[in-house]
Copies of this chain bind each other. A is one copy, B any other.
């Protein structure tokens, strides 16, 4: 089993524990079984699938710069995955996706439940509304985890917040572009790049690394350059690879219908590329660049190797 899979096993214990505690807490606000049933579904959405890339990168960076291997930090890093689940729930509403990681998305699950219960009115809309609220709850929880923590110094949490709030602005604006693009007949490559920078590079790679660095107590500002460059290379490679898989992969492997991007008038990198081969070259070049950046990073060989393994796991999608 590779590092990322091992990490997921350990991390998910904390994630599950946290969700159970929160769902238990929420039960003091209402006794209504329909509402509680929807909230319980958060556990399923969050724990079904998902690679835990973001907390893994933060943890790796934390280890590399603090030399510590303590697992208490995993409890804190749960905020990244709670935030990610919030993003997925809201994204799935916007994309009208009914399935993710092989299970019904939040809005689809709730709409189905209401239908089965013989509810009246616009059931589809109600499912989306409840899913918006489930997402809002997770978004709140993610920030509560950061700001109710007592294990890190005020200075460290302040820096985490600086990175976190910048990332939220980025990922929201990135998603705004994504949503807007689907209504346009023509889109510039510049705008697709803009979206990838914000939604993928910054959100999935650069910021988790910065947060891991901040938590380690690292105060060397130069690390921001590495995180930015590594994130950009990984973001472009990953997004292009994702676009490619959307064209070529089979339904069952992704857990969602293939060519869903195209059917929704989604503009991808392959709109601009002369061939699939050209796209594959972009992917390869950027993964190589990411590895070169890691080679130059001044950390212990053990962690350097873990970084390289990570890039390869993403490259081969063996996670």
- The chain A residues found within 8 Å of chain B, CB to CB, are 25-26, 29-32, 34-35, 38-39, 90, 93-94, 96, 114, 119-121, 123, 125-126, 129-130, 132-133, 136-137, 139-140, 143-144, 146-148, 154, 158, 161-162, 165, 168-170, 172-173, 175-177, 179-180, 182-185, 191, 194, 198, 264-265
Contacts and interface: CB of A to CB of B under 8 A. Distances in A.
A26 to B, nearest CB: 6
Contacts of A26: 169, 173
A123 B175 CA distance: 16
A119 to B, nearest CB: 4
Number of copies: 2
A255 B197 CA distance: 41
B165 A140 contact: yes
B139 A161 contact: no
Contacts of A132: 90, 93-94, 132
26 contacts: A25-B169, A26-B169, A29-B169, A30-B173, A30-B198, A32-B180, A35-B173, A39-B176, A90-B132, A94-B125, A94-B132, A96-B125, A114-B183, A126-B183, A130-B180, A133-B175, A133-B176, A136-B168, A137-B169, A139-B140, A140-B143, A140-B169, A144-B165, A147-B161, A148-B161, A154-B154
Contacts of A162: 148
A130 B179 contact: yes
A274 to B, nearest CB: 25
Contacts of A137: 168-169, 172
- Classify the secondary structure of A's interface with B: helix
A126 to B, nearest CB: 5
Nearest to A185: B120
Contact of A265 (B38, B120, B136, B148): B120
A121 B90 contact: no
Contact of A129 (B94, B114, B165, B168): B94
A265 B25 contact: no
A173 to B, nearest CB: 4
A177 B90 contact: no
B120 A173 contact: no
A183 B148 CA distance: 37
Contacts of A123: 183
Contacts of A265: 120-121
Nearest to A31: B194
